[in-house]
Chain A
Amino acid sequence: MQQLHHLLEVDNLSTSFFTYAGEVRAVSGVSFYIDEGEALGIVGESGCGKSVTVQSVMRLIPSPPGKIVSGQIRFLGQDLVKLPEKQMTTIRGKSMGMIFQDPMTSLNPVLTIGRQMTEVLQRHEGLGKQEAMDRAEKYLEMVGIPNCKRRLKQYPHEFSGGMRQRVMIAMALLCNPKLLIADEPTTALDVTIQAQILELMKDLKQKINTSIILITHDLGVVAGLCSRIIVMYGGKIVESGTVQDIYKSPQHPYTWGLLKSVPRLDALSRTKLVPIHGTPPDLLKPPVGCGFTARCAHAMKICAEQPPGITEINPGHQVACWLLHPDAPKSTFDEKGRVG
C-alpha cells in the first residue's frame, strides 16, 4: 500500500565524478524514499555523499565531470534520471524547492530580492508582475520578515545571514513545492539564529504540509524536526530508520561513533569523548568491502572482503553491517554509550 504513495523514490542511485585522477564514486547504490508531508534527515560527515545525493535528485550535478551512472529517481510518476533538461526545469523550483547551505552566495547580489523572487513566479506560474510581487510579499511575511514591502526593493547585502536564509526559504516555497530540499540550511548561522530557522521550518511543515529532506552533519538538528533519518558514510547508506531507531537503538558502529563523539549539553559529568579514529575513505579508490572497516572497532575479516548486505531489524530500520549477520559475534550499544 505504502509503495503507491511515495512522493520520491530513489532506487540504487550511483553518481560519479570523472576526474583526471580517475572515477570518484561520490554516491554508490543509494536507495531511499520520502512520503508526502514527511521530514527525512540525511546525516553524515563532509564527503559522505549526502549533498551529491540530493543534487542528483535535483539534477544539479555539474556535467562533466559528474554523471548519474545508474539508478532511478521516481518523482510524481516520472523517472527524473531520464527526463530531458527542458522538462526538468519545469520541476525544479516548482514541485521541488531547494535551500542551499550558504545564504551569502546563493542569492544574486546585483538583483533586488523582489526581482529574484518574482522571477520564479513569472516563469512557473505565469503570474503578472504585480500579482507576483503580492505573492512574494505574502511569503516574506510568512517566514517572519518585517517591513516586507520595503524589503522586496532591497538587495541581498542589506540582509543579515539569518534574514537571507529566510528569504531563501520563502523563495523555495513560492510555488508550493511538494518537496523541499534543505542542504545544511543552518550550518553557516549562529545558534540563536539556527534556532529561529529550525522553529520556522517546523512551523511551515505543519502549515503547508511540504515534504522536507534535511541534510546536516549535526545529529541534534534532525532530532527535533525529522521523523526518519538516513546515515550515510563513504557514499553509501549505512543505517536508516525512524528517529527512535537511530537515537535509541542504533545498530551500525558508525552511528554509534557519531553519537558518542559529540559532547551532549545535558551530560551530567565530564565523560571522555570517544572519537572515531582515522579518516573517511578515499572515494577514488573505494574499499572493496564495507567502507567503514578501517575505522571500525568491531571489524572482522569479512568486512574488508565483501560489502555487507542490508539487515532489517524491524520494519523500516535497515542497517548495512556484517555484525548483524546471524553468524557474527554480538555487539550492542547501551544507554551510556558503552559498547559491550
Chain B
Amino acid sequence: MKNEVILEVENLVKHFPLEEGIFSRHHKKVHAVNGISFQLHQGETLGLVGESGCGKSTAGRTIIRLYEPTSGIVKYQGKNILSYNAKEMLAVRRDIQMIFQDPYASLNPRMTVGDIIGEALDIHHLARGQKRTDRIYELLETVGLNPEHANRFPHEFSGGQRQRIGIARSLSVNPKLIICDEPISALDVSIQAQIVNMLEELQEKLGLTYLFIAHDLSMVKHISHRIAVMYLGRIVELTDSFTLYEKPLHPYTQALLSAIPIPDPDIEAARQRQVLKGNVPSPIDPPSGCYFRTRCPKAQEVCALSTPELIEQGNNHWVACHCI
C-alpha cells in the first residue's frame, strides 16, 4: 500500500514570540513545534497524537500556513509551498482542507448552512447558480444530512451534525488531503463513532489522505495506518499503528499506552500501570537534550547532553531515544 508521497514535512519549526516589557522586545518564545519531519502517502491516514500542549495542532495549522512557520520545508506534491504567494497558496488550499475541533466555534452563526458550504465554491469559482445549489445538496447528502438543512443556521444543529457540516464544507472543493484537527474530541462517544465511520467511508470513496490529529490514542489507533507520537513539539516515535501498540519503543509511548484505560474489568485488574511522574515541562523553557528526560524512568546522563535523532529501528519504525 506504498503510494506516492503527497506531503513531505522537513524539519518544521514554529516558535511563538512572547512579548514582554513596554518596548515589546521579544525575550522568550514558546517552542511549539521543534523540527518535525514526516511524509504522508496518498490515501493513507497518519495519526498525530500527544497530550495537550505538545504542538500537534500547531503543526497541523503550520503545514497549511495558517501560521507562518519559523523554519523548515513543507512540500506538497514535490513543491515547497512555504515560498508560495497568496495566489499560489489559494490553489494549494483547494487541495488541502481542514476540519476543526470545535464544531460550535468553527461555523459562522450568521450564515446559513448552505452559504457556509457554498462559500468555498464561490471563493474557488467552482459552481454558480443552480449548479451551486445542486452541489450543496449533494454534499449535505454525502455527510448524512438532509438537503432541506441548507436553509437553516448552525445553532439549530447538534454537535455531531455541526461536525458533519464542517466536513461537507471541507469536501466542497474536492480536496486531496484533509487535516483533521481533533474532529471528534468535542463529541459524545456514540456520536464519535458515527463521524469516524463517515471519515473512513469518505476516504475509501474519494481516495482522501488524512492527517488525523487527536489526543485519544485508542481512536487514533483505530483510524490511522501510521501514527506519530509527539512530545513537546518533537516526534518521539513514528510507525504503523499495530507496531506502535504491540512494540512501543520510546518510554513516553509506553507510558502513554499504559495510561489509557481499557473497558474490561479483568484486564484493568491485571494491568501494571506505568504512571508518569510530574507534568509536561513548559514549552517556553524546555529542558536540554531529550525533552522527555525529566519524566523518563530510563533517563541517563547522555539524555541531558544531546538531542536524540529520529532513527529508524528497522521496518519503518522510527524512534528518537538514546536508550535503545
- Measured CB to CB, the residues of A under 8 A from B are 45-46, 160, 162-163, 190-196, 198-199, 217-221, 223-224, 243-244, 247, 257-267, 270, 272-277, 279-280
Contacts and interface: CB of A to CB of B under 8 A. Distances in A.
A162 B279 contact: yes
A262 B263 contact: yes
Contact of B268 (A217, A224, A264, A270): A224
A191 B259 contact: yes
Contact of B273 (A199, A247, A257, A273): A199
Contacts of A160: 279
Given A190-B215, A223-B263, 13 more contacts: A163-B279, A192-B255, A192-B259, A192-B275, A196-B275, A219-B263, A220-B262, A224-B269, A258-B189, A262-B192, A262-B263, A265-B217, A266-B245
17 contacts: A160-B279, A190-B215, A195-B273, A218-B189, A220-B268, A224-B269, A244-B265, A247-B263, A257-B190, A258-B189, A262-B218, A263-B196, A265-B217, A266-B262, A266-B267, A276-B190, A279-B158
Interface string B56-87: 00000000000000000000000000000000
B256 interface: yes
Contacts of B267: 223, 266
Nearest to A254: B190
A191 B215 contact: yes
B101 to A, nearest CB: 15
A263 B51 contact: no
A260 B256 CA distance: 23
Interface in B190-222: 190-194, 196-197, 200, 215, 217-219, 221-222
B190 A261 contact: yes
> Nearest 8 A-B pairs (CB), nearest first?
A220-B261, A263-B222, A275-B193, A195-B259, A224-B268, A261-B193, A276-B190, A190-B51
B174 interface: no
Interface of B: 51-52, 158, 160-161, 188-194, 196-197, 200, 215, 217-219, 221-222, 245, 255-265, 267-269, 271, 273, 275-276, 279-280
B262 A279 contact: no
Contacts of A244: 265
Contacts, number: 126
Contacts of B215: 190-191
A272 B193 CA distance: 9
Contact of A263 (B219, B258, B269): B219
Contacts of B158: 279
Contacts of A263: 196, 218-219, 221-222
Given A192-B51, A265-B245, A218 B193 contact: no
Nearest to B223: A263
Contact of B265 (A45, A199, A247): A247
Contacts of B245: 265-266
Contacts of B189: 45, 217-218, 258, 261-262
A169 B78 CA distance: 53
B188 A217 contact: yes
A192 B193 contact: no
A270 B222 contact: yes
A265 B264 contact: no
A223 B197 contact: no
Contacts of B196: 263, 273, 275
Contacts of B160: 279
Contacts of A198: 261
A196 B221 contact: no
Given A258-B189, A265-B217, A279-B160, A192 B256 contact: yes
A275 B194 contact: yes
A220 B269 CA distance: 12
Interface centre among B194, B215, B257, B263 (most CB of A within 10 A): B263
A285 to B, nearest CB: 16
Contacts of B259: 191-192, 194-195
A234 B153 CA distance: 26
Contact of A223 (B51, B161, B268): B268
A270 B223 CA distance: 8
A274 B279 contact: no
A273 B279 contact: no
A265 B265 contact: no
Most chain A CB atoms below 10 A, which of B255, B256, B258, B267 = B267
A199 B273 CA distance: 9
B268 to A, nearest CB: 4
Contacts of A163: 279
B265 A224 contact: yes
B124 to A, nearest CB: 32
Contact of B264 (A195, A223, A260, A276): A223
B263 A259 contact: yes
Contacts of B256: 191-192
A265 B276 contact: no
Given A196-B276, A261-B192, A261-B193, A191 B260 contact: yes
A218 B255 CA distance: 19
B10 to A, nearest CB: 29
B222 A267 contact: yes
A195 B190 contact: no
Nearest to B194: A275
